[in-house]
Amino acid sequence: MPVDESNPLKKAAELLQKAKYAIALTGAGISVESGIPAFRGKGGLWESYPVEEYATIDAFIANPRKVWNFFRDLYDTLGSAEPNPAHFALAKLESRGILKSVVTQNIDGLHQKAGSREVIEFHGNASSLRCLNCEMVIPFEECEAMSAEIPVCSCGGLLKPEIVLYGESIPVDSLMDAQDEALLCDLMLVIGTSAQVVPASMLPLIARQRHATIIEMNLGQTWLTEHYADISVFGSVGSTLPEVAHLILGDYIDT
């Protein structure tokens, strides 16, 4: 496929096909088309649940009953969400050896649901609960304590979804794995995020310093467009990512 400078989407596909170690960094924008509103956007969860009252570890410990109302609403939103064509496109690119891993800021588990295998989650995943006392991890589906107003572990400790709240640190393993991937990659797709929030913001920087190609795929211009992106593909990622995958894989279908 010849390089087409005038068509960022085709150029993105060509560079991705040539890359030796391509990875993706994803954010809330990839899941909007799955019915999960960006937390900070209009209609996002933070409109109903102010961050400082509901999404900090201190708020949870001070008033678990109140914060569990927020968690239940979060589970309702996540429970009805299905992967969209953008998630499937990434899973297919991985299964065909084009993409090595996905680093995500999302907690919705939709990459795995779409079939992605190498997924590094910066902010945890809502699919399990962890006891703040004994550290036991219980899959959400198997947690009998969910019927209680405040779910507690058999040891009496508070159960909390394994998502990273404000005031909690990013899991060290995820951080190290993501940094390793950013160091290794020669191409990074940045999808549905402006990657301005630490620690995700470090990854394009690390990759860039190692002369990796940065391809941004967002609805419109972001901070990345000016600063780090070699190529910016604008538009709904539910359309653009399957198109990129189709250009590379030919026989690609999005389900």
Please state the length of the chain: 255
Contact 236, 210 (CB under 8 A): no
Stretch that binds Zn ion, among 54-62, 90-98, 132-140, 207-215 (CB under 5 A): 132-140
Closer Cβ to Zn ion, 155 or 197, answer by number: 155
Reduced to 3 states (helix: H, G, I; strand: E, B; else coil), residue 77 is: helix
Per-residue binder mask for Zn ion (CB under 5 A), 188-227, x = binder: ----------------------------------------
Least separation in angstroms between CB 132 and Zn ion: 8
Q: Is 133 one of the binding residues for Zn ion (CB under 5 A)?
A: yes
Stretch that binds Zn ion, among 45-53, 93-101, 134-142, 184-192 (CB under 5 A): 134-142
What is the distance of C-alpha 146 from the center of its chain?
25
Closer Cβ to Zn ion, 134 or 219, answer by number: 134
CA 236 – CA 146 distance, rounded (Å):
36
Alpha-carbon Rg for the chain, nearest whole angstrom, is 19
Catalytic residue (choose from 87, 111, 123, 246): 123
User: Tokens 């001070």 — which residue?
Assistant: 62
CA 37 – CA 100 distance, rounded (Å):
27
Distances (CA, A) of 115 to 28, 35, 131, 151: 18, 19, 28, 30
Token representation of residue 18: 């040539």
Apex CA 105: angle with CA 101 and CA 108, to 5°? 95
Stretch that binds Zn ion, among 100-108, 153-161, 178-186, 241-249 (CB under 5 A): 153-161
123 is catalytic: yes
Per-residue binder mask for Zn ion (CB under 5 A), 85-124, x = binder: ----------------------------------------
Reduced to 3 states (helix: H, G, I; strand: E, B; else coil), residue 232 is: strand
Closer Cβ to Zn ion, 133 or 209, answer by number: 133
Q: Is 131 one of the binding residues for Zn ion (CB under 5 A)?
A: yes
Q: Is 129 one of the binding residues for Zn ion (CB under 5 A)?
A: no
Reduced to 3 states (helix: H, G, I; strand: E, B; else coil), residue 78 is: helix
Least separation in angstroms between CB 64 and Zn ion: 14
Q: Which of 153, 158, 214, 215 binds Zn ion (CB under 5 A)?
A: 153
Active site residues: 123
Residues that bind Zn ion (CB under 5 A): 131, 133-134, 136, 153, 155, 157
